[in-house]
């Protein structure tokens, strides 16, 4: 009987090739994206460190507020005299801070309005109080004009997973100063708020402090992972091709 050679279809080769090429392309793209993110993160950290290392400048005047944008102004250190309005504190829950290494564990940021000489309001983050010391949030408020030193920040955006504010309980879950000012009826407030560095209250709470850049930079590790998976997939495809090039089995007489 004449030997019959089994015929292999090309469909398996074409399908596997397409899947592998698409997969490798996606994985390499993710690796390159992580390298780009690494460069962006390093530039951001350098920019923030440079901003926070500068000496404080005078707070921009009220006439310039409408034109201020976060880019180029956020994390700028400023100093200005203002008078805190008593009994107006708002508490913002926090589980910790990437910019305040001295803040450990859950607690509250204490936000309060401070009136400038012209009557405008700047919202001040007076500092942190731990959960168990919530009653101390309203303490240590200085009277009269005080010289405030701090860092300009812009309101946080709430997301779909941000809990709803407990307005009656005076607890918010994001430093959304627009929403807080609306609920508290603070008029004519600045579009930014200020993270206070000083002065510190006599009793130590709320605890102000300097911001420190402590952003995670794991993008190189992620890039290596994506490139590594792409390499494994490439090895799988090469092994597949080698296997197909082996001599085809033949069927002899039974």
Could you read off the pLDDT of 71-117 as tens digits, one per residue?
A: 889 999 999 999 999 999 999 999 988 889 888 889 999 999 999 99
Question: Which of 143, 144, 140, 153 shows the shortest CA–CA distance to 78?
Answer: 153
Report residue 245's pLDDT band, with 50, 70 and 90 as the boundaries.
confident
Q: Give the pLDDT confidence score for residue 10 in this predicted structure.
A: 63
Average pLDDT on 116-120 reads: 92
Q: Give the pLDDT confidence score for residue 243 in this predicted structure.
A: 84
Most confident of 9-13, 36-40, 78-82: 78-82
Q: Give the pLDDT confidence score for residue 107 in this predicted structure.
A: 96
Write out the DSSP string of 19-78. Answer: HHHHHHHHHHHHHHHHHHHHHHHHHHHHHHHHHHHSPPEEPPPGGGGGG--STTTTT-EE
Q: Give the pLDDT confidence score for residue 139 in this predicted structure.
A: 80
Average pLDDT on 54-70 reads: 94
User: Are the C-beta atoms of 192 and 69 separated by less than 8 Å?
Assistant: no
Residue with structure tokens 């490439």? Answer: 234
Q: pLDDT tens for residues 141-193? A: 888 899 999 999 999 988 888 999 999 999 999 999 999 999 999 988 999 99
Percentage of the residues of the chain whose pLDDT score is greater than 90: 60
Asked whether the bond before 206 is cis by omega within 30 degrees of 0, the reply is yes
φ/ψ of 196, rounded to 5, equals -75, 135
Of 133 and 217, the one with more pLDDT: 133
Question: What global pTM score does this model have?
Answer: 0.75
């Amino acid at each position: 009987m004449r030997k019959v050679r089994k015929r292999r279809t090309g469909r398996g080769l074409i399908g596997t090739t397409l899947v592998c090429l698409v997969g490798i392309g996606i994985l390499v793209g993710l690796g390159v994206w992580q390298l780009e993110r690494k460069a962006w993160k390093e530039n951001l950290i350098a920019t923030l460190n440079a901003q926070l290392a500068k000496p404080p400048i005078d707070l921009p005047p009220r006439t310039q507020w409408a034109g201020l944008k976060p880019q180029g102004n956020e994390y700028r250190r400023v100093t200005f005299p203002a008078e805190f309005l008593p009994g107006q504190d708002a508490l913002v829950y926090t589980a910790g801070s990437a910019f305040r290494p001295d803040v450990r564990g859950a607690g509250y940021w204490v936000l309060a309005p401070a009136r400038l000489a012209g009557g405008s309001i700047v919202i001040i983050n007076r500092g942190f109080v731990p959960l168990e010391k919530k009653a101390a949030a309203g303490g240590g408020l200085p009277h009269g004009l005080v010289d405030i030193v701090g860092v300009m920040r812009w309101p946080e955006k709430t997301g779909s997973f941000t809990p709803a504010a407990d307005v009656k309980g005076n607890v918010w879950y994001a430093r959304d100063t627009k929403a807080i000012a609306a609920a508290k009826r603070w008029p004519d407030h600045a579009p930014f708020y200020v993270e206070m560095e000083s002065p510190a209250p006599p009793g130590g709470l709320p605890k102000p402090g300097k911001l420190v850049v402590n952003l995670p930079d794991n993008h190189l590790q992620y890039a290596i992972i994506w490139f590594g998976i792409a390499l494994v997939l490439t090895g799988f495809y090469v092994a597949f091709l080698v296997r197909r090039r082996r001599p085809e089995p033949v069927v002899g007489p039974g």
